[in-house]
Chain A
Amino acid sequence: MSTARRSLRDLKPSTVLATLAFAVVTAIVLLPIAIIVLTAFKPAAEVNAYPPSLLPDDWTLANLKTVTSELPFARLVGNSFVFAGGVTLFALVFDSLAAYALARLDFTGRKVLLVAIIATLMIPFQATLIPLYQLVADLGWVNTYTGLIAPRAADAFGIFFLRQFFLALPRDIDQAARIDGAGEFRIFRSVVLPNAVPALLTLGLFTFVNNWNDLLWPLVFTTDAEMGTITSGLTQLTGPSGIVPHGVMMAGSLIAILPLVIAFLFIQRRFIENIATTGLK
């Protein structure tokens, strides 16, 4: 970081060139996000004008007003928070418990179990969707938060990810507790978990983002429009009835991505360092 604050004359031309090249690459990568934000505030006439422009001439809130009247937006965003947040909480607890056993307990069948858990990662979700829907329907959970959350409350990627991290923790950190006669659960809770905060935060972000953004499960599972998420609700705008103005679509997209982008920008400083300390590699 301190190197960035060196005086300008220390910079080599090659460094300046590399920085410029990165600025261009980054601008291209961020263009679709810029287009979402800027189009959301464009009046309809400008959205469909030729030649197109990046920035709106007149900024307007009309698109945001339209989209919030077309869909029960507060409700959908709330559902997204309950769904993604609930899944994240449960998955962190259940995944870390399982990962602890797989990384730090010695028992017969451990390797087989680990390989079996990793193998479930290769199952395409679409393949289980119909029987899964029938199961959840038989349990009477259709259009409930329980039904939405329960199938995701543990996942193979999270177990694998945390296991790699727990493996890397030095063995001796739990020796003192063990000599004091602490049971496995106390060692897990008061020795291993406090040392795993970076890994838990990183996995928490992945889990939250993936579920917030998931399209198919909430789309198929919720027949009641009031129980959908913001991501599944947005696709109803494009539905068979046809063309929704781009501006309205982008206003909806803006609402859908805003919470995640803000959350990410808040934790980004620690995020990459966190990944570096986890076993994800």
Chain B
Amino acid sequence: MTTARPTRHRYRPPAPLGGRRRATESPLRRGATAFAFLAPALIILGAFTVWPMLSALRLSFTDASGFGEPEFVGLENYIGVFTDPDILNAVTNTALYTVLFTPLAVVSALGLALLLNNPRLPFRGFFRTALFVPFVVSFSVAAFAWSYLVDPQVGLLNYWLRGFGIQIGNVLEDPTLAMPMVVLVAVWKLFGFYFVIFLAGLQDIPPSIYEAARMDGAGAFSRLRNVTLPLLSNTMAFVLIFAMIAALQAFDQIYVMTGGGPYGSTQTLVMEIYESGFRKLDIGFASALSYVLLAATLVLSLVQFVFFGRKEKDLA
């Protein structure tokens, strides 16, 4: 692979007439055309995402509760966020959830995609389809099904595991096992999505590169490490960031399965936002908490972009 090929100057055809930048078109006119295309989406995103987000920023400095006129309270809510032991617990839980979910989901999706990319495997199409099916099931339905499967009295999974001598007891009431359980449900529901994205990325790697590596005497492991994984790094960055965002925003299955319990052991940040905003009606506090979560998400995403050395041209 390292032998230098003589560099040749490729013949470049002259730029076609009427190229993409028309000299006659002013930047202003181009801007107006672009704006016409962008307007509907920008109006929707602006009105229903950005504007509520800015309202939330304003509310985060008030004692808004849904009743009466909110009063300005300065940084009180933010100080509350950083000193409240419940929030510290939610931060720890969210971190634990993210650390468990992201590698589990990404590694299982990547592993299955690598194995199912092998054209010699019989029933490949069937396996691919079947593994994606959980993705179309809603988190709440997934939560019902899994809760029933691990029910301490009549749960089929509990019963089968007992047959192997494994006692899992009442998983959803167990402070150490409840968190792995809600993570497992998320991995089950979401890995199919990452799996198809990896499959798509794998199909983009030209077979000739593998051929060349094989001729150089590279074994299967070496091909994986030196060819497949580096060429998948863009896909990997995309999947990791989406998986991380999904983990930081974990809510649905926890809401249905444990409600944050037992003893707050599955209480995540978004559960906390939901409870302070909708149960305790402490809207100012919920908004401050949202901003802290948003800041953390932005920072972690940036770290990943830098870590994976994603080229600027891929982003913008």
Provide the residues of chain A in CB contact with B42, threshold 8 Å.
98
> Is B119 touching A154 in the complex (CB atoms < 8 A)?
no
Are B134 and A231 within 8 A (Cβ)?
no
Stretch with Cβ within 8 A of B (4 or more), from A50-58, A59-67, A68-76: A50-58
Residues of A near B139 (CB, < 8 A) are 213, 215
User: Which A residue sits closest to B316, measured CB to CB?
Assistant: A111
Partner of B41, one of A98, A124, A246: A98
Q: Contact partner of A272 among B17, B153, B196, CB < 8 A?
A: B196
Residue among A124, A156, A272 with the most chain B CB within 10 A?
A: A124
B44 touches A150 (CB 8 A): yes
Determine the chain A residues whose CB is within 8 A of the CB of B238 once the complex forms.
280-281
Contact with B along A22-38 (1 / 0, CB 8 A): 10011001111101100
Contact A120/B154 with A128-B56, A215-B252, A280-B238 known, Cβ cut-off 8 Å: no
Asked if A15 and B144 sit within 8 Å, CB to CB, the answer is no
Measured between alpha carbons, how far is A178 from B112 in the docked complex, in Å?
45
Q: How far is the CA of A106 from the CA of B138 in the complex (A)?
A: 40
Q: How far is the CA of A246 from the CA of B255 in the complex (A)?
A: 18
Instruction: Produce 1/0 per residue, A181-222, CB < 8 A to B.
Output: 000110010000000000000000000010011111000100
User: Are B123 and A4 in contact (CB-based, < 8 A)?
Assistant: yes
Query: Interface size for chain B: under 10, 10 to 19, 20 to 34, or 35 or more residues?
Result: 35 or more
Residues of A within 8 A of B145 (CB): 32-33, 35-36, 250, 253
Measured CA separation A234–B145 after assembly (Å): 13
In Å, the complex CA distance between A11 and B9 comes to 48
Closest to A8 in B: B122
Which candidate, B80-88, B95-103, B221-229, B291-299, is the interface stretch facing chain A?
A: B291-299
Please give me the residue from chain B that is nearest to A202 by CB atom. Answer: B196
Could you tell me which B residues sit within 8 Å of A by CB distance? 16-18, 20-21, 27, 30-31, 33-35, 37-38, 40-42, 44-45, 47-53, 55-56, 59, 66, 112, 115-116, 118-142, 144-146, 148-149, 151, 153-157, 159, 188, 196-197, 199-201, 203-204, 234-235, 238, 245, 248-249, 251-252, 255-256, 270, 273-274, 277-278, 283, 286-287, 290-291, 293-294, 297-298, 301, 315-316
Chain A residues with CB under 8 Å of chain B are 1, 3-4, 11, 15, 18-19, 22, 25-26, 29-33, 35-36, 39, 47-54, 93-95, 97-98, 100-102, 105-108, 110-111, 113-115, 117-132, 134-135, 150-156, 159, 171-172, 175, 178-179, 184-185, 188, 209, 212-216, 220, 231, 234-235, 238, 246, 249-250, 253, 256-257, 260-261, 264-265, 268-269, 271-272, 275-276, 278, 280-281
